[in-house]
Homo-oligomer: A and B are copies of this chain.
Amino acid sequence: MKDYSLNSEHLNSKNLIPDTGIFNYLTNDEKLRLSNNVTLMNFERQDILFKQNMPSDHVVYIVSGLIKIYRGGRGYRVVCIKLAGPGEFAALSCAYASNIYRYSAAAIEKTVALMMRKEAFRDVLKNNGMFSVSLISLMGKEIIEVSNKLVNFSMKQLPGRVADMIRYFSEEVFNNTEFTVALTRQEMAELIGTTKESLIRTLNEFKHDKIIDLEGKHIKIISNDLIKVLSEIG
């Protein structure tokens, strides 16, 4: 009994907030207060974290894994706005700018996420200037990223966008020239605004031209230079 009670108390006061990134700016007290409004969640591939048009009540912080943030349109067509991995937030933009989620999020691989009640998160933002300025910096990066994607979508044609995607996986997600993506061809296509057929063709052309090695979901970059050139000339 005594042990159990102790355990429970210990659990209640356990700090779920990581000691990384912008959370470094929080005091222990702030961490604890925020922590009491945080739920740690586990998601399997294809699990939904939140869905477009639902009331937006949480800010989501990815501890581990990978998720996709996407918008569905009429007729099953989907556009993937971005992926988010460890240390990244999701739904930040909706938290204080909208009362509903403006897009959906689903786990691409096994993912651990912290669901933070947005009111508690806001209280911390209000009281900790360094924390809020850091968040403003993060959101600025997100605006720049989405704008870049917009520019790439309008200026580059398929080979350029496919090269962009491969570069993104290699440089931003896996930090390796060789990697295995859990995404299907369909999902990859949604990430760069094309159809699965066109994506498959372009990937196989890259393979044929010895730019990449391709075996199922495993991609190995043979010529990083060519990938960079393709990505830059569009």
Q: What is the interface of chain A, defined by CB distance below 8 A to chain B? A: 71, 73-74, 77, 79, 81, 92-98, 102-103, 122, 125-130, 132-133, 135-144, 146-151, 153-155, 193, 233-234
Contact = CB atoms under 8 A, between A and B. Distances in A.
Number of copies: 2
A147 B136 CA distance: 18
A107 to B, nearest CB: 20
Contact of A139 (B77, B136, B233): B136
Contacts of A71: 147, 151
Given A129-B132, A132-B132, A155-B77, A146 B150 contact: yes
- Of A74, A122, A132, most buried by chain B (CB within 10 Å of CB) is A132
Given A125-B132, A127-B129, A79 B155 contact: yes
Contact of A136 (B96, B102, B150): B96
Contact of A126 (B129, B148, B193): B129
23 contacts: A74-B233, A79-B150, A79-B155, A81-B147, A92-B140, A93-B139, A93-B140, A93-B143, A96-B140, A97-B137, A97-B140, A97-B141, A102-B144, A125-B133, A125-B136, A126-B129, A129-B132, A132-B132, A132-B133, A136-B136, A139-B139, A139-B140, A143-B146
B144 A142 contact: no
A94 B144 contact: yes
Contact of A98 (B73, B92, B98, B144): B144
B81 A140 contact: no
The 8 closest A-B pairs by CB, nearest first: A97-B140, A126-B129, A93-B143, A154-B193, A132-B132, A93-B140, A96-B137, A97-B141
Given A79-B154, A102-B147, A126 B133 contact: yes
Contacts of A143: 92-93, 97, 139, 142-143, 146
Nearest to A190: B154
A144 B93 contact: yes
